[in-house]
Amino acid sequence: MAQDPVYYRSVIRELSSEKYQGRSDYKNGDKKAARFLVRQFKNIEGVEPALKDFYLQPFSYGVNVFHKKMELSVDGREMVPGTDFIVREFSPSQKGSYALEYISHDDHHPERLLPLLETGKFKDSYIVLQFDLVYKYLGIAPEVLYSMPLAGLIMIREGQPPFFKSRSGKMQPVPVIWVSPQFPENAKKITVRFESQWIKNYTSSNVIACLPGQERKDSCIIFIAHYDHLGHFGKDVFYPGANDNASGTAFLLTLASYYAQPENRPDLTYIFIAAAAEENNLLGSTYYTENPAIPLDKTLQVINLDMVADNGDHLFVETGPEGEASLLKFREINKRLDLFGTIEQHPLSNDSDHYPFAMNKVPALYIMVDGDAYSVYHTPLDDYRHIYTNRYSDLFRLVTEFASIF
C-alpha cells in the first residue's frame, strides 16, 4: 500500500467541517476531533496506543475566549466579524461608544507615540494605528501599548485580518482590534460590544499512537501534526482550518496506515502525535516533551507536518542546530528524486510543534508547503474549497524516503 490521497482528502473534509466547530474550545470541538482521531488510529491494524492506558494525553490550561456575539460599528456602519475585523485573543469585554483618534505616520515612532499616549488625552478614545508601523517599531507583541490609558487600539492591516489564539493565555487591560484596509480613514465614533470569557482550566488532549519497532524498538522517530485550530470568533464565525492543520493531521494518518503494512513496518518505533493546543502557544507539544512516551534522548528525529495541502513547488522548513545534518540529507533526497523546486530554510522559531523538541536538543524538522492556500491563513476561508492536494504524493514520497535513513 502506498499513498492514499482519497483517504487524505476525506480526513481533511471531515475535520474542517462544521461538526468540529474549528477544533478548539467552542462546544468542545477539539474533544470531538480527538475522539475521531482515536477511532481512525484504532482502525489501523498494528497501530497501538503510545501511552500506558490509552491514546489520549490530557492537559489543562487557562484561555480567554469569545463565544458570544461580537459587534462593532463605525459611524453607525456595521462591520462584519471575521472579515472586516477581529478582536485580539487577549482582549477583555467591553461595551460602549468611543471617539476615534487617528495617529499620523510620523507619530508611530515610539519616541513620539508613547509620550503622546501617556498624557491620558486618549483615555476615552480608540486610537487608530498602522499595523506595519507598529510591527516595525515595537514588534509582534507591543505590550507597552496595551497598558496605556486608552479605551482601545485599532490596527489597520493588509488583507483580511487573521485571528490567533497564541496569546489567549493572558488577559490584557484594553481591547486590541485588527481591521482590514477598508476601515474608514476619517471616522468619528466606534461602538463596540465584546464579551470575553476566561476559562481557568480547559482540558485538551494530545492523541498519540505508535508502531512498535521490529528491532530497535527503544528508539523512535516522531511524526507530529497539530489537529487543533482556532475555534470561534464570536458565536457565528468559525474557522475550519482545512490547511491549518487538518491537512497535516490527515497526512499523519496516511503515514500510520502506510507503515502499518507488513512490508513497510519500521525497525525503529514510530510515534504519531496529533497535538492539541498548538494554536494556544504550542501547549500540547510542550506537554509531550515534558511527558514523552519514549525518552527524548532516544528520539532520533521529529518530523512536523503543518499546512501541507497547498499547491506550491516550494517548501518552508525550520530546524535547530541538532537537526542541521538531517536537513542536509532531506535536501539531498529531494534533489535526487526531483520532487520540490525550492526548499527554503527559515530561522528556528516558536511557530509550530517542532520548536519544543528543538529546544530540548532533539533533531526536529518543520515542513510546510507554500502556495495559494496560504492567502487564507487564519481566516474563515481556510476551508475544504481552498486546499490543494496535488503535492500530496510528492511530499509523501519525500517524507518516507527521509524517514528511512534513520
Q: Are strands 125-130 and 152-156 parallel, antiparallel or unpaired?
A: parallel
What pLDDT, in 10s, does the model give residues 375-404? 999 999 999 999 999 999 999 999 999 999
Local confidence band at 53 (pLDDT 50, 70, 90 cut-offs): confident
Q: Which pLDDT value is given to residue 2?
A: 62
Q: Which of 383, 200, 278 is nearest to 24 (CA)?
A: 278
Interval 331-345: pLDDT, tens: 999 999 999 999 999
Q: Are both 5-64+200-403 and 70-194 of the same fold?
A: no
> Alpha-carbon distance 353 to 305, whole Å?
9
What is the mean pLDDT of the segment spanning 177-196?
A: 96
Secondary structure (3-state) at 2? coil
Kindly report the pTM of this predicted structure. Answer: 0.96
Question: What pLDDT does residue 1 have?
Answer: 45
Cα 282 from Cα 280, distance rounded (Å): 6
pLDDT greater than 80 at residue 115: yes
Average pLDDT of the chain, as a whole number = 96
Average of per-residue pLDDT across 31-43: 98
Question: Grid coordinates representing 322?
Answer: 541538532
% residues pLDDT > 70 (the chain):
100
**Region 318-328: what's the mean pLDDT?**
98
Q: How far apart are CA 83 and CA 178, in angstroms?
A: 10
Q: What is the mean pLDDT of residues 166-171?
A: 96
CA 393/CA 340 separation, integer angstroms: 11
* Choices 3.50.30.30, 3.20.20.70, 2.70.70.10, 3.40.50.300: CATH for 70-194: 3.50.30.30
Per-residue pLDDT of 260-293, as tens digits, reads 999 999 999 999 999 999 999 999 999 999 999 9
3: pLDDT confidence band, cut at 50, 70 and 90?
A: confident
Q: CA-CA distance, 83 to 368, in Å (whole number)? A: 25
Strands, DSSP E only, in 212-363? 216-226, 232-233, 237-238, 268-275, 299-305, 314-318, 342-345
> How crowded is residue 144: how many other Cβ atoms within 10 Å of its Cβ?
13
- Domain boundaries, given as residue ranges, for the chain: 5-64+200-403, 70-194
What superfamily does domain 5-64+200-403 belong to in CATH?
A: Zn peptidases (3.40.630.10)
